[in-house]
Every structure is written in C-alpha cells, then in structure tokens.
Amino acid sequence: MDKFKDLPDSDGFFGDYGGKFVPETLMYALQELEDTYSKLKDNNEFFANVDKDLKQFVGRPSPLYFAKRLTKYHGGPKIWLKREDLNHTGAHKINNTVGQILLAKAMGKKRIIAETGAGQHGVATAAVAARLGLECHIYMGANDIQRQSLNVYRIKLLGATVHAVKSGAAILKDALNEALRDWVTNIEDTYYIIGSVTGPHPYPMIVRDFNAVVGRELKEQSIELFNKFPDAIIACVGGGSNAMGVFYPFLEEDVKLVGVEAAGSGIKTGKHAAPLNDGKPGVLHGAKSYLMQNDEGQVIDTQSISAGLDYPGVGPEHSHLKDSRRATYIAVDDVEVLKAFHNVTRLEGIMPALESAHAFAALEHLVKDFSKNANLVVNVSGRGDKDINIVATMGGISLD
C-alpha cells in the first residue's frame, strides 16, 4: 500500500476517494492547473515567493501557545494551541490563497473567483487579489451572507464583488455549485481558488500542500517547547483544510490525529454536518468522498452553528484516513461548542471561531485517554470576531 504521505496517486485518488468527476470543459482546466503545479512544485524561486508572503503578509510562523488555565480546567494532559487565529485576515485560509494566487499569476489568469461559507475564505481571497490588482468575484449563500455580515462587508471593502446565491439551502454547497458554474463559463481567463481540500483533483492536494506549513511549523515548535512530537493533534473538519494542513506532516509519525465534525443539533436528529460520522460515500463537487445523502443518493441539508463547517461533504483524503483508521473523527454538537467558546474565551483570553470551538469542545471527550504528561495540540483555525452576533443571539452576554 502507498504511504499516506505519497497520496494522491496519479489519477488523484486517496485510496477509494477523490478523482475528477467533472464535465469535459473542466477537464482541460484541471489538467492545466495540475501541469503548472507539478512544474512549480520543484521550483525554488516559486516557493521562496510563497514563503516570503507567508512571513511578511500573513505573519507566519504562528505561535504554539501553552494554555495553562485550560489545561488546569480539564485536569489532564497539557494543552497547547497552534495559533492560526493570529494570521492576517483571521484564519488559516490565507495560507492557501497566498499560494494559489501565485499559481493564478504564473498561469496568466486575470480574473479570480471563489466560494465562501463563513466568509473567511472570501476575505482571504479578496485580500490576495487586491494585492495583485486582480478582478475578484466571491460566491456566498444568501443565508451565510446574513449570518456572517461582517465578513461580507470586509470582502466588499477589499474591492471584490459578492454574489448572493439563493438556490438550495443558500449556504456553502450552493455557493460552490455557482462558483463551478462561473468557472465552466469563463474558463479562459478565470482562476478558481477553492477554499478547502475538496473539489476535483488536483485541488485537494494543492490546498493541503499550501496549508501543510502549519504542520511543518508544529514539528519544529513541539521539539523546541517540549522535546518531542505531540501525542495528539485535534482540528475541526468542515471541508478539512485546516485539519489536513496540520495532520499531513505527521501522517507517518506516531501521533494521534483527531478530526472534529459539526454534530449541529445532534447526530441522532439528522440535523448536522458530519458526513464522516453519519454519511456514505458518494460524489459531490467533482470528487468521491463521504457525503450526507438520503437513500436515493440526494444530498441532504446540513445544520451547524458555524457557517464554515456547514457542508455535506468532506475532503477525500479525510475519507481515506477514516477508512484506514489513520485518523479518528468525532462530532460535537452546537451546545457543546457554545460552552467551549465561552470557556476558552474566559480561561485564556482567546476568542476562537465557532469552527475552532468544535476542536476545543472535543477535549471534553478526549482528555481522559491521556496521562498528565501527554501533550495535546488544538489547531485554532481562526478567531471568533466574525461570530459574536451569533454567540450573542444564542444565549451569550447581551450586546446592548
């Protein structure tokens, strides 16, 4: 069997998952992207430019921080936070957009499109497009536009056009459909920056590779701060890019990898966004992966307090890591997430995004399996400023 780190194979498969299930018109564009990427992958100058932007524009490396009071609260293993919330624009998404915009430039594309859920990928894409003076269009579900209005305004300030998508449930999966439709229509001059390790090959690989800087930094920082690799790494999973980025450099190491999905109102209610916990393999947005679907194979509506995790699919590499048991996937519900959000904010002075709060909520289930000497790392995928209206209406402290 292939080593985990050597995947995907040349057809874009991670075991049974991935591939390119797209119309003929897109095949050409995907091949063009794959050819460009495989050429630039070994080009030192290209990666020197990526590294320079990660350092000077994004603010990398992000710190590894010891959460002393949170550790005491849980009364078990030491808890460390990988601080992706401190990145420019407030989440891990910028690690990927900084890289992909340089691919777009290398390919001579003049027009950038992207989909977004919570708006973080929209902001991260609009920011890098602004910097290069490229035209930028962001597709966002009309429902998400309402619940993430702060990010919508940020995208507009950055000079991008926001397209409200009203079809379906008017959330992330619908925005992805519209972005793919735009791409098919404008394939000549348009580069599509996908925001997670989802979509057809080569996207899951490219987005993972650009996010893997997080795991590489963590390897160095854990050795420096506690002299060994972490015992476990915990990350929330929507499409799965922040998790894949921090997991990937550890795939061949003796480190427990835990992904945390959104259980929404509870797995048993069916109202959730946890395809790895309660889904079946199927094809969505160009790739085969675990998917939330009914008995007829129709994609079913998802529910989560966090717009960034509110997606019925998941990146194909996670499906492979699940089936092969290299990683474990659990789910936590909205109530647990809100509790974790408040806890971390009060105990550590750090306000996590509601997406990241899923990883914190998982600690409640996980700490009992580890000794006091163990080191657990929570990937803090983003900061919570964008979510304060939701928190306030869901029983937080009143905003008045």
Ligand X SMILES: *Cc1c(COP(=O)(O)O)cnc(C)c1O
CA distance 334 to 338: 6
Using CB under 6 A, which of the segments 16-24, 38-46, 114-122, 269-277 binds ligand X? 114-122
Identified catalytic residue from 20, 93, 109, 386: 93
Residue 72 appears among annotated catalytic residues:
no
Residue in 100, 104, 275, 287 with CA at minimum distance from that of residue 195: 100
Among 353, 357, 361, 363, binds ligand X (CB under 6 A): 353
Asked if residue 221 binds ligand X (CB under 6 A), the reply is no
Closest approach, Cβ 240 to ligand X, in A, equals 5
Which sign, positive or negative, has the C-alpha torsion 312, 361, 54, 147? positive
* Binders of ligand X in range 151-180 (CB under 6 A): none
Q: CA 32 → CA 28, 39, 273, distances in Å?
A: 6, 11, 33
Among 120, 190, 289, 293, binds ligand X (CB under 6 A): 120
CA distance 377 to 93: 19
* Binders of ligand X in range 53-92 (CB under 6 A): 91
Binding to ligand X by CB under 6 A, coded x per residue (else -) over 251-290, reads ----------------------------------------
Pull the structure tokens for residue 188.
Answer: 């000549």
Among 26, 81, 237, 273, binds ligand X (CB under 6 A): 237
Residue 115 appears among annotated catalytic residues:
yes
CA distance 248 to 318: 11
Main-chain dihedrals φ then ψ at residue 376, nearest 5 degrees: -110, 135
Closest approach, Cβ 35 to ligand X, in A, equals 25
Residue 322 appears among annotated catalytic residues:
no
Q: Which residue number, 18 or 239, has a Cβ lying nearer to ligand X?
A: 239
Asked if residue 125 binds ligand X (CB under 6 A), the reply is no
Give 128's contacts (C-beta < 8 A, 6+ positions apart).
94, 97, 98, 101
CA distance 71 to 76: 7
Closest approach, Cβ 227 to ligand X, in A, equals 29
**3-state SS string for 126-193:** HHHHHHHCCEEEEEEEHHHHHHCHHHHHHHHHCCCEEEEECCCCCCHHHHHHHHHHHHHHCCCCEEEC
Q: Which residue number, 71 or 356, has a Cβ lying nearer to ligand X?
A: 356
Among 89, 221, 289, 356, binds ligand X (CB under 6 A): 356
Question: Binders of ligand X: how many residues, by CB under 6 A?
Answer: 20
Among 236, 262, 338, 344, binds ligand X (CB under 6 A): 236
CA distance 130 to 180: 22
CA distance 174 to 117: 10
Asked if residue 384 binds ligand X (CB under 6 A), the reply is no
Which spans of this chain sit near ligand X (rule: CB under 6 A)?
A: 91, 93, 118, 120-121, 196, 236-242, 308-309, 353, 355-356, 381-382
Mind telling me the catalytic residues?
Answer: 93, 115, 381
